[in-house]
A and B are shown apart, each in its own frame.
Chain A
Amino acid sequence: MTDVAQLKSIKLAGRLDTSRVGEIETGFYAEVGFIKDPSAIAIIDLSEVTFLSSLGIRLLVTAGKTFQQRGIRFGLVASQSHDVMEALEISGITGLFRFFENEEEARAAF
């Protein structure tokens, strides 16, 4: 997790399939749990994610819900994979998260 000013970024990478999500979810939720300051900007960086399964999307939804409940501004850095972006759009998660090209764009937007 990088911490520059108010921006807290959690980076995910590779294939987020069922087994990978099983491996990372405890660490991921711990990182989400550490972000408690309502003035923070939480960013989940998906730029290096190449596949997103249903469980991967659920991971993001749970994180988004937690940030929402804590009043934290949050967003996603878009993946470079067309398939990942298509899965996110079709799932409807675009209504929950704001999407950015990179962290700088996110910082400027908030």
Chain B
Amino acid sequence: MEIFLDIFAGLGLFFVGVKLIGANLKQLTGKWFRGLMAAATESGLRASLLGLLSGALTQSSNAITFISISMVTAGLVEVAGVIPMVIWANVGTSLLVLVAAVDINLVVLFLLGATGVAYYFDLDNKPRFRHGLGAVLGLSLLFMGLELIKHGSVPLRSVAGVADFLTFAASSYFLAFLIGAVLTMVAQSSATVTIIAVAMTNAGLLTLDQTIAIVIGASLGSGLSIGVLTANLKGIGRQIAWMQIGVKIVGVAIFLPLFVLEVSTGLPGIKALVTSCTPHIATQVALVYLFLQIASAVITMLLRKPVTALIARHSPPTDEELLSQPHYLYDEALTDVPSALELVEREQARAFGYLPNLLDGVRADATMVMSAQALHVAGQSLIDQCDAFLAEIVDQNEAKDMLPEAFNLQKRNEILSGLFTALDDYVQTVSRIGPRDEDDKFVRLIFALGESLHTILDLGKDAFQTRDRDDLAILLDFTADRSAQMDSIRRRAMSVNDMSPGDHSALYTTTTLFERILWLTRRYGELAVEMVFAPETV
């Protein structure tokens, strides 16, 4: 029992360590990494190097895949630009596997002690050290966990049943391959499974042949787990996921036949290669993992152009992704502040233009082309990108003369975000009313509110895109205070006896949201007028 608990506790420490390393390194590298990614993806070599680095830091090719998906979906980088990074991140994950194969027990004990002392002196409360210290603690726990697994695995060989199972497993490489695949799908990391396998091989619990089969199986499992995790993705997101799955499949397709040929015919293959490199069995396993990643990366890199074109044809960008991509924001524009501000204003106007269509699902006279949810996500993505762009403008020295205009656009960004939220609430409230007879007085009132709201937002869309003085003036006229009018509608509704309490509540909410949307639109319009009517501004 104690043996199993040693291994169980070791696994626990190992997993805590992996989590701590990933979480803290992501915090350390977040903003810096995103900036680096945008710059690196302009060149294949730089993107590949960044992939190596990020894979080594995060120890998760899945994490890099998902970061790439989010950045491409947000329109910050191109699919072709991130592909080398996604491919080489797999090779980066080999670093920990190689380190784990080396006996660094004394270093780990020192690290753990030093980290504990640093925590005792509250260094973790200082922002400068917090995440670095967390990452070192994670690394120490990870290796302590591996030591416990090794410690528990040595006597395991003599436990009745385990020896029988190992003999049985040794007779079937397919079983070892399957175990590698299944464990990786559970652990979500082929590097994790390989490191545990390295520890068990070190303890003499697994043979080199078995471990190689596990490592190849782990690669397949990693591809399958990405497939499961990204099954609901469409468009560009799916393109990147498919590329990552392709990398894993290529590795298995090369190494599995080579390995089968070697063990069945005795011809030199991967096993012969790693045993010629080092006599140390744990390092041999780590090298198998490294060579597998390198071979997959090199082959996929050579094939990446036709493969990228193929997957782009089979998974074209979704409407939501296209709407999320900025049309006007680009980094080069940041050098000229007035132009950069003008571009933000245009991008915001484009996002505002999504608002009328948010109502399509609940209007009396409209056909829904795209879901309100998709429009909201796309609009919010544009707002976030405008926000980041504005932050970069404001940080520049050259922007000091145009700070009022920059703050004006920042305020508009906040209002725009509020408008998307308020319209989302409005659509949800009206959707909950459910199908009714079109002659129902309450429904007719809700329809009138919807058509009016659509008119006003449509007027806003035109006014902000054309920046026409008359259109802006009409918009301000249409969005004047309506509290008295809405109060009157509510009072009239209260006097109608056949309205249910649910309808009263829905009417109260819709009229309140109507007022809020109008107020926000007016405020946005007033800020637009400030800029359009001020002659010295953009």
CA distance A87 to B501 in the complex (A): 24
Contact of A83 (CB < 8 Å), options: B448, B459, B485: B448
B33 at the interface (CB under 8 A from A): no
Q: Is B431 interfacial (CB 8 A cutoff)? A: no
Residue of A nearest to B449 (CB): A90
Residue of B nearest to A60 (CB): B455
Choice from A57, A65, A89 contacting B455 with Cβ under 8 Å: A57
| Cα–Cα distance between A55 and B356 once the two chains are bound (Å) | 12
Contact with A along B497-508 (1 / 0, CB 8 A): 000000000000
Asked if B451 is at the interface (CB within 8 A of a chain A CB), the reply is: yes
Report if A86 contacts B (CB, 8 A): yes
From 280 to 332 in chain B, residues with beta carbon under 8 angstroms from any chain A beta carbon are none
Looking at A29-37, A92-100, A102-110, the stretch in contact with chain B turns out to be A92-100
Q: Given A54, A65, A68, A89, which contacts B485 in the complex, CB threshold below 8 Å?
A: A89
Stretch at the interface among B345-353, B396-404, B409-417, B474-482: B474-482
In the docked arrangement, what's the CA distance between A57 and B448, Å?
11
Count how many pairs of residues, one from A and one from B, have CB atoms less than 8 Å apart in the complex. Answer: 69
- Provide the residues of chain B in CB contact with A54, threshold 8 Å: 356, 363, 365-366, 451-452, 454-455, 458
B459 touches A95 (CB 8 A): no
- Return B325 CB to nearest CB of chain A, in Å: 28
Q: Which of B452, B480, B485 contacts A57 (CB 8 A)?
A: B452
Check B2 for interface membership: any CB of A closer than 8 A.
Answer: no
By the criterion CB–CB under 8 Å, are A87 and B451 in contact?
yes
Interface status of A69 (Cβ within 8 A of chain B): yes
Complexed CA–CA distance, A54 and B470 (Å):
20
A95 touches which of B447, B455, B477 (Cβ 8 Å): B477
A17 to B451, CA, bound (A): 10
Question: What 4 A-B pairs are tightest by C-beta distance, nearest first?
Answer: A92-B478, A54-B454, A91-B452, A53-B365
Q: Footprint of A on B, CB under 8 Å?
A: 356, 363-366, 444-445, 447-449, 451-452, 454-456, 458-459, 470-471, 474, 477-480, 482, 485, 489, 514
Interface residues of A (CB under 8 A from B): 17-18, 51-55, 57-58, 61, 65, 68-69, 83, 86-87, 89-93, 95-96
